[in-house]
């Protein structure tokens, strides 16, 4: 007896990227994240490495690749910023894993889905960073301003959508 799947082929496609894109885009995001807030402090609200982690994780739709991508991007971000090494690595590893797992189940090419994913994962990233700093590192003076984190999530989402559309041009179907 034949079985029918209600999942479209588009939802199951895993994408790969040219090696130059795979290396240069995350590296550019990390360098910009480290350099831009110095002359323009307001740009510290952006989290470009998070946006890039989300894009590659949902595009590849492979939880292991999403975890490793998040770990690599997060650790490099830690090295270039004032965070203790491993804080962003842990947070972005978790986000890469969850985002890739969601990418397997949901059509992440849809603009509405991308907005929800970016907004939600930006808030999750803030919560993970809070928990890591507060619970794992034991920093009792580490506080979070939730209104600021909501604004950060909105700003990151607004910036992420054009970045996602730009990076879509480099996708190759496996």
Q: Write out pLDDT tens, residues 101-145.
A: 999 898 888 999 999 999 999 999 999 999 999 999 988 888 889
Does the pLDDT of residue 89 top 50, yes or no?
yes
> 3-state DSSP: the chain helix, strand, coil percent, rounded to 5?
70, 0, 25
Q: What are phi and psi of 2, to 5 degrees?
A: -80, 140
Which of the residue ranges 15-19, 45-49, 60-64, 162-166 would you say has the lowest mean pLDDT?
Answer: 15-19
Residues facing 172 on adjacent strands? 16
Residues 106 and 10: their CA atoms lie apart, in Å, by: 10
Give the mean model confidence (pLDDT) for residues 18-38.
Answer: 94
**Token pair in block for residue 32:** 């910009």
Host H or E run for residue 106: none
Q: Is 37 exposed, middle or buried, given 0-12, 13-18 or 19+ CB atoms closer than 10 A?
A: middle
Does the pLDDT of residue 1 top 60, yes or no?
no
Q: In this structure, what DSSP letter does residue 137 have?
A: S
- As a whole-number percent, the residues of the chain with pLDDT over 70 amount to 92
Does the pLDDT of residue 11 top 50, yes or no?
no
pLDDT at 5: 46
């Amino acid at each position: 007896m034949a079985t029918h799947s209600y999942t479209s082929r588009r939802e199951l496609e895993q994408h790969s990227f040219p090696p130059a894109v795979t290396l240069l885009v995350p590296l550019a995001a990390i360098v910009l994240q480290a350099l831009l807030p110095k002359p323009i402090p307001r740009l510290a609200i952006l989290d470009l490495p998070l946006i890039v982690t989300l894009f590659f994780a949902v595009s590849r739709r492979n939880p292991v690749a999403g975890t490793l991508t998040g770990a690599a991007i997060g650790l490099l971000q830690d090295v270039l910023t004032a965070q203790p090494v491993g804080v962003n690595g842990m947070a972005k590893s978790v986000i890469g894993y969850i985002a890739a797992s969601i990418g397997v189940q949901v059509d992440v090419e849809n603009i509405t889905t991308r907005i929800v994913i970016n907004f939600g994962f930006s808030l999750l990233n803030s919560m993970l960073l809070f928990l890591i700093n507060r619970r794992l590192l034991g920093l009792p003076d580490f506080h979070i301003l939730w209104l600021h984190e909501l604004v950060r999530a909105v700003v990151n989402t607004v910036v992420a959508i054009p970045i996602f559309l730009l990076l879509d041009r480099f996708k190759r179907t496996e």
